[in-house]
């Protein structure tokens, strides 16, 4: 009888542990990438482009209402030190930092993730192998080979960063060249890729065709169909926000925002009431 009671207690304890572990699994991993949350909810996200090292400008853009910031490290002189300081200066801002790395190298992606980027934008993608490498370098084991070194990521995103990073980092493949268009279905099929981005200007540059021409639109349609067939998010310039199927958008740079803001201010009728000095939102 005593042995039976011991057995029953042990069985109840095991059952309790099983229920506890199941509950943890049902709760899922903590998601702090709000841009990813919106995409998973079927919403659209917009990111402004950052190519200046000025922290004040970065913070103004990060608090302006964008979902993420497209930090431009392919076509700018920005260093990883510059970007690390900008992200840290405006930690806690609503816009999530994404970085367009110069290339899908282990060093570039390691540095980008270590300084806190939750989005890795990979340019000039023409083969699935390039995106396989990008995913591998951006993810910790067992999904990838990212090294666990130093960085400000933990102070930005929490002490559980190592356990949650793989589920929070978005991987974006940019299709810019004709070879990328031809291989887009294979690129979109790479496990770990979240977004495929149709790069409007470079599609024109590499093809010699302009938007609206049948050949150009055929390229966009091929990217569109392959991306959505793979169940991924389709991205493009903000000017394409009314195109069917697109949900990830790159907006203008700080210079473009200043020009647009100046036009709004200069065209606004006078209110007769001066703003309080120092009341401007930073």
* Active site members: 75
Are 237 and 252 in contact by the 8 Å Cβ rule? The answer is no
Angle between helices 254-267 and 55-62 (to 10 degrees): 70
Rg (CA), the chain: 23
Residue 13, Cβ density class (10 Å: 0-12 exposed, 13-18 middle, ≥19 buried): exposed
Give alpha helix (H) positions in 120-176: 128-138, 153-157, 161-168
Cross-strand pairs, 99: 71, 120
Separation of alpha carbons 97 and 14, rounded Å? 43
Separation of alpha carbons 75 and 5, rounded Å? 71
Separation of alpha carbons 113 and 154, rounded Å? 11
Q: CA nearest 168: which of 97, 107, 106, 251?
A: 97
């Amino acid at each position: 009888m005593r042995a039976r009671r011991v057995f029953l207690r042990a069985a109840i304890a095991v059952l309790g542990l099983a229920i506890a572990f199941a509950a943890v699994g049902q709760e899922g991993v903590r998601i702090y990438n709000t841009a990813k949350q919106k995409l998973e909810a079927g919403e659209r996200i917009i990111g402004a482009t950052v190519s200046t090292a000025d922290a004040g400008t970065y913070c103004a853009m990060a608090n302006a209402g964008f979902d993420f910031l497209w930090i431009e490290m392919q076509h700018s002189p920005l260093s990883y030190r510059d970007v690390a300081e900008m992200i840290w200066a405006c930690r806690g801002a609503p816009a999530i930092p994404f970085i367009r790395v110069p290339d899908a190298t282990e060093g570039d992606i390691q540095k980008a993730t270590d300084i806190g980027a939750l989005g890795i934008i990979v340019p000039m993608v023409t083969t699935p192998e390039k995106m396989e490498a990008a995913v591998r370098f951006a993810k910790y084991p067992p999904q990838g080979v990212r090294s666990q070194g130093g960085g400000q990521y933990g102070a930005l995103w929490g002490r559980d960063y190592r356990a949650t990073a793989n589920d929070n980092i978005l991987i974006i493949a940019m299709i810019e060249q004709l070879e990328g268009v031809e291989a887009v279905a294979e690129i979109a099929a790479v496990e770990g890729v979240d977004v495929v981005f149709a790069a409007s200007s470079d599609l024109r540059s590499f093809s010699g065709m302009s938007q609206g021409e049948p050949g150009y639109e055929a390229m966009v349609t091929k990217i569109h169909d392959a991306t959505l067939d793979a169940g991924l998010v389709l991205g493009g310039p903000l000017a394409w926000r009314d195109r069917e199927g697109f949900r990830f958008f790159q907006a203008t740079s700080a210079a473009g925002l200043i020009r647009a803001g100046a036009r709004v201010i200069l065209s606004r009728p006078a209110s007769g009431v001066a703003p309080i000095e120092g009341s401007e939102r930073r």
